Amino acid sequence: MSLPIFPRSGDKNTCNLREAVTKPNIEVGAYTYYHDFDDPLRFQDRNVLYHYPVNNDRLVIGKFCSIAHGAKFLFNGGNHRQAACANYPFAIFGEQWEHDLHIADSWDNKGDIIIGNDVWIGFEALVMAGVTIGDGARIGSRAIVTRDVPPYAVVAGAPARPVKKRFPDEDIALLEKVRWWDWPEERIRRDLNLLTGDVAALRQALGE
């Protein structure tokens, strides 16, 4: 399913991100949007950093995520190898040092960045390599996310730490069971009042 690259008439600062991404190691779910005060179509070049094909690492973003201006995803190429005696990445300049070193050995590979569904990522937040962010989580503005974030958690700060859960555990369990982002578009459209309301109304409507 293809969506319009700009979902709002007259708004060139908000894009359906999946329609703007072309790199094969970046996957974006339907309806996820990115807002940028300059040019949202440059997301994969300006916001996904040190993401070199040699590492085979991926950025995976789920459906219905909201990503604010300047949010960045810092990949493994920015993690100079900690166990090495030298911080300096000699392998990157192997020709200069007349050595046949493997470039990917210059840094620690912590793995993919995985973003769940319906995640909100605030202004200029930074997500580090190897982090998984659960469904429904909220990432505060300018947070630096160095560890996994549970579903429906709110984190903030540098480094990011849990602030609270968005809902009580029983409500989180219901939302994880419902997985509304996997509903057909027709059902989402029909039940928008439930999705924009509180969990109690959703529970009642579903007979849970």
> What pLDDT is stored for residue 144 in this prediction?
98
> What pLDDT is stored for residue 17 in this prediction?
98
Q: Which domains does the chain have, with CATH numbers?
A: 14-77+110-166 (2.160.10.10), 167-208 (no CATH)
Q: Report the chain (208 residues): mean pLDDT per 10 consecutive residues.
A: 92 98 97 98 97 93 98 92 87 82 82 98 98 98 98 98 97 97 97 96 92
Cα distances from 93 to residues 6, 83, 90, in angstroms, run 41, 19, 5
Q: Which residue has the tokens 């409500």?
A: 171
> What pLDDT is stored for residue 50 in this prediction?
94
> What pLDDT is stored for residue 26 in this prediction?
98
Question: Mind telling me the catalytic residues?
Answer: 80
As a whole number of angstroms, the distance between CA 121 and CA 118 comes to: 10
